[in-house]
Amino acid sequence: MRLATFTAGNGEELGVVTGDNDIISITRAAPHLALDMIDLISHWGERRDNVTEIANAREHVLPLSGVRLLAPVPRPGKIFAIGLNYADHIEESGMDTPEHQVWFTKAVTSVNAPYDPVQIPKVTQFVDYEVELVAIIGRGGKHINKEDAPAHIFGYCVGNDVTERMWQHRTQQWSLGKSFDTHAPFGPWITTSDEIEDIHALNIASSVNGESRQNSNTKHLVFNVWEQIEHLSQAMTLEPGDVIFTGTPGGIGAAMDPRQFLKKGDVVRCEIEKLGVIEATFENEE
């Protein structure tokens, strides 16, 4: 199932994406079923059948072209992202393969809709792209074993871990350089985990203005998704709707010769097999 948060001019709604062109409004079909995506995820076990019935009834159908898709979880409780997690990206960064997982946070105010413009901040011009598989936590918990991790993931999205390189590297802490407003677009919807046979066998790619930049497969993750969930949950309780960016492959602009940072008007497209496409035009911050 593909679940989205969207607006058609009357506030946020939840929807089920059907086919390539339609979205069915859960909110209009059952106004009291869920307050938002986190509420729906939190009670998915008891509400999944309701959503399936709504999808099958095919009432309240809207054309995808007539709605604005928002980030599937517009205000997650936590956003965590792992660095240096594809071998080719580690090599191009001139760093050693980390012995331990390298984690940083992205501020929840960095969340952006999957097709909305992304800002190039006033304070710098060193903005880069990073296509990433994004995992959405379903069943929360702490001290989750990697063998049990799949049962704790609700679904997956396409993400762009937009990064301001100067702010990232001028200190040893990356969070500020990763947390500028609009620098965490993800979506276009959540594909529930039962729809994906093997999350570690999906092609992942990005392009800038139609030029291919990143092209890899999730089988090349250094620490796979299950290991990531196990590691994070040793430190903190994971909760429904938490967002996990799982790492980017090689091909970033900062590693090119000469380096290629994003400028006004550039269009970045990120896509992952079976999960969809997000795309953003980069604009100067007003």
**Domains in the chain: boundaries:** 2-69, 79-284
The C-alpha angle 234, 220, 195, rounded to 5 degrees, equals: 75
Question: pLDDT value at position 32?
Answer: 96
Q: Are 189 and 2 in contact (CB under 8 A)?
A: yes
Q: How far is CA 240 from CA 42, 67, 131, 228, 244, in A?
A: 6, 26, 23, 16, 11
CATH number listed for the domain at residues 79-284: 3.90.850.10
d(CA 51, CA 40): 10
- Going by C-beta distance under 8 Å and a sequence separation of 6 or more, which residues neighbour residue 100? none
Per the model's pLDDT, the better-predicted residue between 95 and 216 turns out to be 216
**pLDDT, tens only, 221-258:** 999 999 999 999 999 999 999 999 999 999 999 999 99
**pLDDT, tens only, 79-134:** 999 999 998 888 888 878 889 999 999 999 999 999 999 999 999 989 999 999 99
